[in-house]
């Protein structure tokens, strides 16, 4: 069966259990993964009834990162909802229910208690702060760890169509404060919150949640965009292919919008 990003992240975490960075990368992969949640019955309206089983004093839902793995576990056709790990954590938040992931069908099989999902939801809900400062000088980034650059590259690559380019540079602000600035061009207003959250996750899941990365949304004609283009590390975000087709919207069909529990 196909090896998935969750398989690889879980294997790395298990190989070095004391490595906090590898554990964070597993949770990052879990949040980004599309999961297939086993249901007790077909979705009705805007709510779902997950299949829940008890292990000792804990309760768990069953989810798999491949549809084939769900089928292999169930051994027969069963109803399911497709949603992201991020959305599943949100749906289960405060329910006292954990996640049984890839149980019995993959090397990444793991039981995640409700406390772990609560931590993940809290981490994903962390809100950035806004501030204003005047840029004095820009330079190529030199001191950022490779873990952050890798995570940031992955987050921006997944933000298809939400912007055109991102420029990462060292910055000195008026008054002498120093830091790092990520200038993003071509992002419509509706995409900005999503991008800021993704960049914040890149910091957190790289083990650098105490660090900071300033984000500025710029027009292509902005003089700061031109300055960044001259010195910064550039990320080109993928652009979607234009197509027109009707899509059915029903519970479980949008991985980032969790249905309600019944």
Structural Rg of the chain based on CA atoms = 20
> How many whole angstroms separate alpha carbon 51 and alpha carbon 40?
5
Cut 0.85: pTM above it: no
pLDDT at 251: 56
Residue showing tokens 């939400």: 162
Quick check: do 5-125 and 135-236 share a fold?
no
pLDDT at 258: 66
CATH superfamily label, 5-125: Uncharacterised protein PF11572, DUF3234 (3.40.1350.90)
CATH architecture of 135-236: 2-Layer Sandwich (3.30)
Spatial contact of 203 and 170, defined as CB atoms under 8 Å apart: no
- State the pairing for strand pair 110-112/97-101: antiparallel
pLDDT at 260: 66
> How many whole angstroms separate alpha carbon 213 and alpha carbon 222?
20
> How many whole angstroms separate alpha carbon 23 and alpha carbon 26?
5
pLDDT at 39: 94
Residue showing tokens 């001191």: 143
Q: What are phi and psi of 112, to 5 degrees?
A: -105, 115
- 46 DSSP β-pair partners: none
pLDDT at 163: 95
> How many whole angstroms separate alpha carbon 101 and alpha carbon 198?
23
Q: What are phi and psi of 128, to 5 degrees?
A: -75, 165
Average pLDDT of adjacent 10-residue blocks, the chain of 262 residues: 90 93 91 94 84 88 96 93 92 91 95 92 74 89 86 91 94 91 93 89 74 86 94 93 58 61 64
pLDDT at 56: 78
> How many whole angstroms separate alpha carbon 204 and alpha carbon 221?
32
Domain boundaries, the chain: 5-125, 135-236
- Condensed to tens digits (0 to 9), the pLDDT of residues 59-106 reads 999 999 999 999 999 999 899 999 999 999 989 988 999 999 999 999
3-state secondary structure the chain: CCCCHHHHHHHHHHHCCCCHHHHHHHHHHHHHCEEEEEECCCCECCEECECEEEECCEEEEEEECCHHHHHHHHCCCCCEEEEEHHHHHHHHCCCCEEEEECCCCCCCCEEECHHHHHHHHHHHCCCCCCCCCCEEEEECCCCCCHHHHHHHHHHHHHCCCCCCEEEEEEEEECCCCEEEEEEEECCCHHHHHHHHHHHHHHHHCCCCCCCCCEEEEECCCCHHHHHHHHHCEEEECCCCCCCCCCCCCCCCCCCCCCCEEC
Exposure of 47 by Cβ count < 10 A (0-12 exposed, 13-18 middle, 19+ buried)?
Answer: exposed
């Amino acid at each position: 069966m196909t090896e998935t990003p969750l398989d690889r992240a879980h294997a790395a975490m298990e190989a070095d259990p004391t490595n906090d960075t590898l554990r964070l990368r597993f949770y990052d992969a879990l949040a980004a993964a599309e999961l297939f949640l086993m249901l007790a019955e077909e979705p009705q309206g805007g709510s779902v009834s997950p299949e829940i089983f008890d292990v000792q004093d804990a309760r768990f839902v069953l989810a798999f990162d491949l549809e084939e793995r769900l089928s292999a576990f169930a051994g027969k056709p069963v109803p399911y909802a497709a949603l992201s790990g991020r959305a599943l954590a949100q749906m289960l938040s405060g329910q006292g229910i954990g996640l049984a992931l890839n149980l019995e069908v993959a090397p990444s099989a793991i039981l995640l208690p409700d406390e772990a999902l609560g931590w993940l939801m809290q981490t994903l809900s962390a809100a950035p702060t806004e501030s204003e400062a005047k840029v004095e000088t820009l330079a190529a980034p030199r001191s950022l760890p490779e873990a952050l650059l890798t995570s940031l590259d992955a987050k921006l690559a997944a933000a298809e169509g939400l912007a055109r380019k991102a420029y990462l540079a060292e910055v000195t602000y008026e008054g002498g404060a120093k830091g790092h600035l990520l200038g993003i061009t071509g992002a419509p207003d509706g995409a900005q919150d999503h991008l800021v959250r993704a960049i914040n996750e890149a910091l957190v899941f790289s083990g650098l949640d105490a660090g900071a990365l300033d984000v500025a949304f710029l027009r292509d004609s902005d003089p700061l965009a031109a300055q960044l283009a001259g010195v910064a590390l550039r990320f080109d975000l993928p652009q979607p292919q234009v197509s027109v087709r009707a899509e059915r919207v029903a519970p479980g069909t949008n991985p980032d919008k969790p249905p309600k529990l019944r």
